[in-house]
Structure 1
Amino acid sequence: MSETESNIATQQTFGDAVNSGDLDVFDTVVAPECVDHDPAPGQVPGPQGFKAFFSDMRTAFPDLHVEVETLVADNDQVAFAYTLTGTHGGVFDGHDATGKSINVRGVQISKFSAGKMTERWGSSDELGIRTQLGLA
């Protein structure tokens, strides 16, 4: 398997963990020193930061699902555009569940070394989420 194929597989494993809620998988695909260049407020580096963020997101949206729409990769980076869907069934950013659904787009670029994510840049349509939930 080439480095590019390995990085894509690692990114897919990360996405599968988000979709399934098996967030302990992050320990195997995220380097301990991984830096998120667009972190959530208070997000710490490494697997623990991603676990905390996606645990909160899956509490707010129990059926959270990330669907990759397009993906490009080279020897050490994977970039993809995605659609994020879910139903607001728990507290999100201090707001109680509305029962409303979200469907927003986002993009992420991940850098890899030795089969693990070492850096991440990304953006989701946060205003779109808030608007669809009636919070904006």
Structure 2
Amino acid sequence: MTTEENTAVVRRFVEEVENRHNLGALDKLFSPDYVDHSGISTLPLTLDGTKQFFTILFTAFPDIGATLNDQVAEGDKVVTRKTFHGHG
């Protein structure tokens, strides 16, 4: 994928998953053999574990969302700076 395609995938993730809470988008955005390396959860480090994480997050914070502030990409790496907003 090109740098532009990679940044578009990250933007789509923020919009579809983090803002619209569309967990079905994860199946389109993530590979079936995805491994989570974030270290933020004790759930399985798989796509299913990631879906579980977001289900728990969206239940606890039903109006949570994110604003994508900056995005830097080089090669196959994309770094983002986001601001999360919502009420608990």
TM range (shorter): 0.7 to 0.9
Whether the 8 Å contact between 1:32 and 1:45 is mirrored in structure 2 is: no
The residue correspondences of 1:42-121 to structure 2 (distance < 5 A) are 42-88=42-88
Q: Which has the larger radius of gyration?
A: 1
3-state SS in 2 of match to 1:14: helix
Unaligned 5+ segments in structure 2 are none
Q: How far apart in 2 are the matches of 1:41 and 1:75?
A: 28
Q: Aligned with 1:7: secondary structure? A: helix
Q: Distance in 1 between matches of 2:69 and 2:25?
A: 22
C-alpha distance in structure 2 between counterparts of 1:3 and 1:64, whole Å: 30
Unaligned runs of 5+ in 1: 89-136
CA displacement at 1:46 relative to structure 2: 3.2
- Give the C-alpha shift of residue 13 in structure 1: 1.4
TM-score, L = length of structure 2: 0.86
Larger fraction in helix: 2
Q: How many residues align?
A: 87
Give the Cα–Cα distance (whole angstroms) in 1 for the partners of residues 59 and 27 of structure 2: 20
User: Structure 2 CA distance, aligned partners of 1:72 and 1:29?
Assistant: 19
Greater relative contact order, per chain length (Cα 8 Å cut-off, separation 6+):
2
Amino acid at match of 1:9: A
Corresponding residue number in structure 1 for 2:11? 12
Equivalent position amino acid for 1:15 in 2 = V
Cα deviation 1:95-123 (Å, max 9, x = unaligned): xxxxxxxxxxxxxxxxxxxxxxxxxxxxx
Preserved contact between residue 37 and residue 45 of structure 2 (Cα < 8 Å): no
Question: What is the CA–CA distance in structure 1 between the aligned matches of 2:64 and 2:18, rounded to whole Å?
Answer: 8
CA RMSD of aligned residues (A): 1.5
Separation of aligned partners in 1, 2:33 and 2:39: 14
Identity among equivalent pairs (%): 31
* 1: CA distance, partners of 2:46 / 2:10: 15
